[in-house]
Structure 1
C-alpha cells in the first residue's frame, strides 16, 4: 500500500477531457479550436507588432495595450499544446509536473491580464482627470515599473499553488473537466485535507482578481465623477468614448471568469458541459475579441495596422 501511495502522490497521470457531449463532432470541434487559436495568436501578435514598430504609438495607453496583448498571448500559448493534442491527436494523458506547470502559466498570465486591466483603468482616469499632465505622470519608466510589478506579483503569488498541490495524494479520479489544467478543477481531486490549499486559493483570488476589480470599479467611479463635472456635452461623450474599449475588455474578462468559478463550485449536479464551455469562453474569447475591439474602436491602431500591411504588401 505504501509504494502505491507514493506513486499516487508523485506520479499520477491526469486524463484531459474535450467538451462532454460533443465527442461525435470531434472534427468540427477540432477545427473550431484551431481557428480560434489562429485568430487569437495572429490578432494579439499583430497588435503587439504594430505598437512596437510604430513610434507614434509609444504612448501610455498603447503600451498598456501591448502588455495586455502579451498576457493574452501567454494564456493562449499555455493552453495550446494540450488542447490541440486532445482534439487533433486524441492524446489525453498528462503527468503531474506537466499539469502543474501548465496550471502555473495559465493562472499566472491570467493574473497579469487582470493587473493590466486595472492599470488601463488607472490610465483612463489620469487621461480624463488631468489630460495636460497625462504623459508627464505616466512616463515610460513608471509604466515599465508598473508592468514589472504586475508580472512579479503574479509569479510570486502563484508559486505556492502548484507546490501545495504537489504534496497531496491524488488517489481519487484523475479525469479533468477540461483539455488543460486549472486550479479550480485540480483542487477537488486529492484524497487528503485541502484546507490549506483552499485558504491560499482564496487569498490568491482576493489579493489579485478581487483587488484589481475593486480598483477598476473605484477608477470608473472617479472617471464618472470627473466626466459629470465637465461643462460640455461633447467633452463628456468624447471622454466616455475613450473608455468603451476598456470597458468591453473588462466585461469580456471578468464575466466568464466568474462564470467558470461558479460552475465549478455550484454546478456539480448540472451537465458537465457547463464548466467546460465556461472555461473555454474564459480562456479563448478575450484573446480573440480584444484585438478586434481595440482595432475597431481605436483610430490610431487602425491607421498603424494599415501602414504595416501596406509596407508588407509593397
Structure 2
C-alpha cells in the first residue's frame, strides 16, 4: 500500500483510463503525415521510423533525452552500453533524422551524463553550433567508495544558426535569498525587501543547482527510471521558445517536456516507444488541463530549493486577490 502522500503515477496498462489510451496516436492510424493530427499529442512508436514522416522545417525547439550510454532497463527494452564509436553512430542516426525537421532558427537541447558527454561533444559540433554546456546538479546519485559520487548531468545547448535563435533571458531569472544585503544611500541595491524576506532576481548561469529530480510526494513523479523534472524543462522551454512555438521530443519517456510545454502555452509532438510511458505522459497531460503549476517556478521566476513556504504564500495571496 502506498502512503497517502505518495503521488507517484505508476499504474499498469490494465488500469490505464480509457480517456488516456484513446488520446495516444499509433503509427497504424496513418495520421502521421498530417501535422494537425499529431500536434499536441504523444505518438507511440519507434522514433527512427516516425521522425521521417514529420513535416520538414516545422520545429522551433527540440528536446533530446536519449538513452544514456549505460546499461538500463526501460519497460521491455534493455539498452546496452556501447563503446564510444558505436554510441556516436547511434547519436548521428537521430541527429540526421531530427535535423531536417528544424526551422533555421531552431534550438536543440541534448541531455547526457558526464561520460556520454565526452563522446557527444565532437559529434554534435559537426551538425550544430554549441552555444553552451549546462551542468545540472541533481544531487541524487549512487555513493562510491573509490570515486566521487556522480550527481551531475550535462545539457548541451545547440543552435542550427550560430547567430539567429530565440533566447529569452528575462523569462528564466532565478530568485535568490540575499544573505548579505548591500544598501546604497540607505536603499536596497539590486534586491527587494518583502514581508517574506530579502530576495534578488538574478540572471541564470550554466550551473543549475536549484532543481531536484522528481520524488514520490510530487504530483509529477512517475515510475520512469530516468524522468526529468518539469522545472528543468521549463527553463529550456521558456528560454528557447515563444508561446505558440512547436516543440519536439523524440524520446518523450513519461512526458515531462510535453506536459511542461502545455503548461507554458507551447505546442508539442512527443514520440515514445513504450505504450506504458505514453499512458503515464498522457495522464499527466490530462492533469495539466486543471493544474498548470510547475513546482519551483512561481511568480514568473525560478526559486531556490527549500523555498516552498515562500512560494505558497505568493500563490495563496494571488488566490485571495482574485476573489
Same fold (TM over 0.5): no
Q: Normalising by structure 2, what TM-score?
A: 0.26
TM-score, normalised relative to structure 1: 0.27
State which structure, 1 or 2, has the greater radius of gyration over its C-alpha atoms.
1
Q: Which has the higher strand share?
A: 2
Which one has more relative contact order, counting CA pairs under 8 Å at least 6 apart? 1
Higher share of residues assigned helix: 1
